[in-house]
Amino acid sequence: MSLEYRPRAEYRKGYRSLPEQDSDAAFFISHRARINIDFKNEKFLFHTTLQDIRVWGDTDPRDDTGKAQFYEFYVEPSITHNLSVRVGRQRIMYDNQRLFAENNWRQAGGQHDAVRFIYKKEKLNVDLIGAYNQNQASETDISYDVDWDIYRAMAANFIKYKANKNLTLTAINIADEYTDPSTNNIKGYWKSTNGGRVTYQKNKLTYTLASYYQWGKIENGKQHSAYYIEPELTWKKSDKYSVKFGAQIFSGDKDKTDQKSTSFLAQYGAFHRHNGGMDYTQKTVRTNEHEGIINPYIMQDFTFFPKFSLNWQSHLLGSQTQLTKTVNTTTQKLDRFYAWENDFRFFYKPNKYTKIEFSHLFLIPTNSISAIDTGKDGDTNKIAQFTYLAISWTPNLLNIRN
């Protein structure tokens, strides 16, 4: 049995969207409280996480209704020495968490109700996932009508092979079905995502290239064809300093009125960790027919003392398609790069179960940001800012071995 308690105080003035000229800053405190319980023997694993998520003060203390929920609840019996099957609500994390992630930044996290076959053997890891969602038991029809945007059915495959001490190959294949609102969510359309990553590491350098292609149909029935590319180079000079150079490119949709969708979608991945912590591309990668992403970045890690470190990320955010703005019936072409973001995160670990994070993030916009949803109503002369303080306690409470 273990505990995780994470309160977080946030000051927001431009987080996720550019602040307007007269907008005030927001401040609040939220928390995540989790109790994890595991039972394991040679042929069986049971895991559950009970969590409470809230903004301080959002509930009447006299209210007799609670907000506790099961974040995870699954069993995993072994089929053979190398093969097991995990059944129930579970986190799914693969590769760099761009396509499948636990979404740890969100207090609620992310999970799937799924059946997952897990094969592990020395150099090879293989997962096969199946999931089917329904919002209620019904006598007729198979509609899936929910307020949030999530698949009705999904099948996925993950393969990781370590060819030798330097070379690692990863592949992810996904097929997911979303329901069409125009058919009362009875009819569904499937899209597929196929690709992988090559990672080569030697001495202090790590080279990696990820590439994915997406095809099929999106939920409104439009034909879909999109891509995602990410080259990356990491230099680890020492235990005290490392730097990473890379670029993330998501294809975008040039014409939203035609019958073809060309925007790459990453609905189950982490948003907060890839294109800057201000999350200006969060809606982009979840929304059909978005403008796409071009994001060259530099990430640096400094360890000043054993218990004190700094992560500094710098992102140049741009659109993969041409940005335009109409002024007095005249359409103007804008620069594709619409903002420069810098994220500074300081970490202090006084002991093995306590972690303190103080972060300041800011985004400098250009006039081009007025052409995208996160900036169209904001003041382009204002610097967007986001500051937060989070403390995590993760002690083990009980450990019994027979």
Residues in contact with 317: Cβ distance below 8 Å, sequence separation at least 6, in sequence order: 275, 276, 280, 281, 293, 294, 295, 337, 338, 339, 340, 341, 363
Q: How far apart are the first and last CA of the chain?
A: 15
Q: Nearest CA to 260 among 291, 222, 315, 296?
A: 222
Percentage helix, strand, coil for the chain under 3-state DSSP, each rounded to 5? 5, 55, 40
Q: What is the rounded distance in angstroms from the CA atom of residue 368 to the CA atom of residue 129? A: 41
**Cα-based angle 123, 129, 130 (whole degrees, multiple of 5):** 165
For residues 59 and 66, is the Cβ–Cβ distance under 8 A? no
Is 370 among the domain residues? yes
Is 53 among the domain residues? yes
Which residue range forms the structural domain that includes residue 29? Answer: 2-393
Given this model, what pLDDT does residue 140 score? 84
DSSP string across 139-170: SS------SS---SEEEEEEEEEE-SSSEEEE
Is 173 among the domain residues? yes
Given this model, what pLDDT does residue 35 score? 98
Is 61 among the domain residues? yes
Looking up residue 310, the CATH number of its domain turns out to be 2.40.160.100
Given this model, what pLDDT does residue 67 score? 75
Is 155 among the domain residues? yes
Is 325 among the domain residues? yes
Q: What is the rounded distance in angstroms from the CA atom of residue 156 to the CA atom of residue 114? A: 11
Given this model, what pLDDT does residue 295 score? 97
Given this model, what pLDDT does residue 257 score? 87
The mean pLDDT values, 10 residues at a time, for the chain of 402 residues are 98 95 94 97 96 92 81 97 97 96 94 97 96 91 88 98 97 97 94 98 97 97 97 96 98 92 95 93 89 97 96 97 86 94 98 97 96 92 97 96 84
**Rg of the chain on CA atoms, in Å:** 23
Phi-psi region of 330 (alpha: psi -120 to 50; beta: other; left: phi over 0): beta
Is 115 among the domain residues? yes
Domain total in the chain: 1
Q: Give the max Cα distance, the chain.
A: 77
Q: What is the rounded distance in angstroms from the CA atom of residue 351 to the CA atom of residue 47? A: 26
Q: Nearest CA to 34 among 109, 111, 88?
A: 109
Is 94 among the domain residues? yes
